[in-house]
Structure 1
Amino acid sequence: MSTHNDISPFAFHKIRDYVYRTAGIVIGNDKTALVTGRLWRRLELYGHKTYEAYFAYVSSPEGAQERSTMLDLLTTNETYFFREPAHFEFLRDQIIPQQRNKPMRVWCAASSTGEEPHSIAMVLSDVMGKTDWDILATDISGKVLEHARTGVYRAERIDHIPANYLKNYCRRGIGEYEGMLAVVPSLRSRIRFEQHNLMHTRKNDEQFDVIFLRNVLIYFDQPTKQKVIENLLQCLRPGGWLILGHCESITGLNLKLTTIRPSIYRKPADAVQVLQKLAV
């Protein structure tokens, strides 16, 4: 009798190929336990005995909604507030001062359940107050974006939030929300959450001063990394900043970026900007 851990090589490759084609994410050959661990309850829910039968269902027109759910389950990654704090310090101490009171547009390009864009918003609000700043937060998963929009988290997820930010930007839940924490509405209102696949270019001509793309490239192969970052750079203004995760790099990629420090890069300023700065 098969168990929920039994997945044939055929079904495993079908599922991983779909995830790669759709999201660009590489699921390694050693990740069968991850796939079965995240999907076996879906087989039980629909009464499928095998992963082949489940994949046949999600590949059918009737399985469109489940196809989206499967992608959500296989592409959602753990995150928490103020992960890799050096990046938030760099934003506060280096990037914001260089804006010289100009509007600040930030794109958090893999926002997951929202801890990262809310962390960015706390820094921007603390330093820039109510001046002109806003954040676009995107993810491929509609499910995590629903969570992110609520701004409500389990209280144990707040360990890394600085005490003054916790006091100014968060409220502890009471009653049925005991043990929960909510980001204040005035902060949430500055973040626009939107579903977006990094394999695709943005439809409009938005330009951002800073793009955070952290702890995502580790799931991509080199050609996908190249394509994803090229897509992002179309939306990064000349002189803008790209911030990757600490364990990620752009080594071996053909990109016009200047390394400021490991995991922090800058798009070269164009000639017009340089001349304007010299004239000041």
Structure 2
Amino acid sequence: MTMLSKNSFQAVTTMFRQVSGIQLSDAKQALVAGRLQKLAQARGVRDVDAYVELLMREGDAQELVKVVDKLTTNETYFFREPQHFEHLKRMLAERRAGAAGGDFRVWSAASSSGEEAYSIAMVLGEHFGLRGWQVIGTDLSTAMVDTARRGLYPLERARLTPTPLLKRWCLKGHGDNTGKLMVAPELRQLVRFECANLTRTLPEIGQFDLVFLRNVLIYFDNPGKADIVKRVLTRLKPDGLLFTGHAESIANLGIPTVAVAPAVYRHA
């Protein structure tokens, strides 16, 4: 594999930071080189540095989107950090079915390829049935949003999914889709995905009872984290809950929130 020069790495990471708000460390140089190599080959450019030079010279918007997609692709799986889903189940059990206030709405704010959003949807489907709720998933990557909308995944991604939920809400693939699962159409219709950059003005997606903002803050410094959390909290209802990754903490960001469970917060 062609190595990426320091100058090319800095050029790409500067562009990526401007677009995404994420600063990639020098330790990510090999990862960036590997992902750019595939894009270079697709463009018929053998040398990664030459591809970066082409990218910067042409400023092709579609090619820049491909770069951002490649650099933000992270594998995830259904029911990751299961403690949060247990908390969600307990909360729903205490909530009176059909309570006033309209549909119960959840935002998966960094939904990647959609497994988190569909995991939430399965729990809501078990509680509410197929009415009275909605899940919105957003991600920076257009490729991840497209994958999420399809709802087709390797079976390995469902290794933590409770068997009853897997049987009720997923279809097992056959033929060309052997070894895969598809989220059932009736569940998919209640989950909407669109692109959003959490470091920029958020799309008009309304207010939410719950926001899952998990495993994205780790990519930002404290000012960047605070900026994102403040922006996201404007979409959380006064009595709503914010879920962050268990390896992430917002306690030192000076934001008026109160922890109600590990990595679960509400407005102060």
Tell me which amino acid in the other structure corresponds to 2:159. Answer: D
Determine the structure 1 residue equivalent to 2:235. Answer: 235
Q: Report the counterpart of residue 244 of structure 1 in structure 2.
A: 244
Q: 2: distance between equivalents of 1:112 and 1:87?
A: 17
Residues 16-45 of structure 1 deviation map (CA, whole Å, 9 limit, x = unaligned): 111112111121111111111111122223
Which residue of the partner structure matches residue 216 of structure 1? 216
1:242–1:266 contact (8 Å) kept in structure 2: yes
Tell me what 1:192 maps to.
192
Q: Report what 2:178 is aligned to.
A: 178
User: Partner residue of 2:155?
Assistant: 155
Question: Contact (CA 8 Å) 1:201, 1:232: kept in 2 or not?
Answer: no
Q: TM-score, normalised by structure 1?
A: 0.89
Give, as a single letter, the amino acid of the residue that structure 2 aligns with 1:258: V
The AA in structure 2 aligned to 1:158 is: A
CA distance in 2, matches of 1:9, 1:123: 46
How do 1:3-82 and structure 2 match up within 5 A?
A: 3-4=1-2, 6-48=3-45, 50-61=47-58, 63-82=60-79
Contact residue 139 and residue 145 of structure 1 kept, 8 A: yes
Once residues 174 and 49 of structure 2 are traced to their aligned partners in structure 1, the CA distance between those partners, rounded to angstroms, is: 46
The residue type equivalent to 2:73 in the other structure is T
Counterpart amino acid of residue 81 in structure 1: F
TM-score, normalised relative to structure 2: 0.93
1:100-111 matched pairs, under 5 angstroms: 101-102=98-99, 103-111=103-111
Give the Cα–Cα distance (whole angstroms) in 2 for the partners of residues 101 and 60 of structure 1: 57
Deviation at 1:98, TM superposition (A): 3.6
Deviation, 1:176, is 2.0
Q: Distance in 2 between matches of 1:198 and 1:99?
A: 32
Return 5+ residue gaps in structure 1 as ranges. Answer: 269-280
Change (3 A) 1:191 1:20: same
- Cα offsets for 1:163-216 (capped at 9, x unmatched): 100111011112222221111100000001101111123243711010001111
- Deviation larger for 243-252 or 89-98: 89-98
Q: Which amino acid aligns with 1:255?
A: I
Q: Evaluate the alpha carbon distance shift between residue 195 and residue 69 of structure 1 in structure 2; reply closer, same or farther with a 3 A threshold.
A: same
Q: Is the 8 A contact 1:58 1:64 kept in 2?
A: no
**In the alignment, structure 1 residue 87 sits paired with structure 2 residue 84:** yes
Q: Percent identity of the aligned residues?
A: 41
Superposed displacement of residue 249, structure 1:
0.6
Stretch of structure 1 that moved more, 96-105 or 181-190: 96-105
* SS in structure 2 at match of 1:30: helix
| Superposed displacement of residue 80, structure 1 | 0.2
Residue 147 of structure 1: how far off its partner (Å) = 1.0
What RMSD over aligned residues (CA atoms) do the two structures have, in Å?
A: 1.7
| Distance (whole Å) between structure 1 residues aligned to residue 205 and residue 148 of structure 2 | 25
Question: Which runs of no fewer than 5 residues in structure 2 stay unpaired?
Answer: none
Query: What residue number does 1:164 align with?
Result: 164
Deviations 1:28-69 (A, max 9, x none): 111111111111122223243544432232234562111100
Q: Aligned to 1:157, what secondary structure does the other structure show? A: helix
**Superimposed CA distance per residue, residues 233-254 of structure 1 (whole angstroms, 9 cap, x where no aligned partner):** 1111101100011101113212
Distance of 1:115 and 1:177 partners within structure 2: 18
Q: Which amino acid aligns with 1:14?
A: A
Larger of the two Rg values belongs to structure: 1
Q: What is the number of residues matched between the two proteins?
A: 265
Contact 2:130 2:187 in 1 (8 A): no
Is structure 2 residue 127 aligned with structure 1 residue 130? no
Report the AA paired with residue 52 of structure 2: F
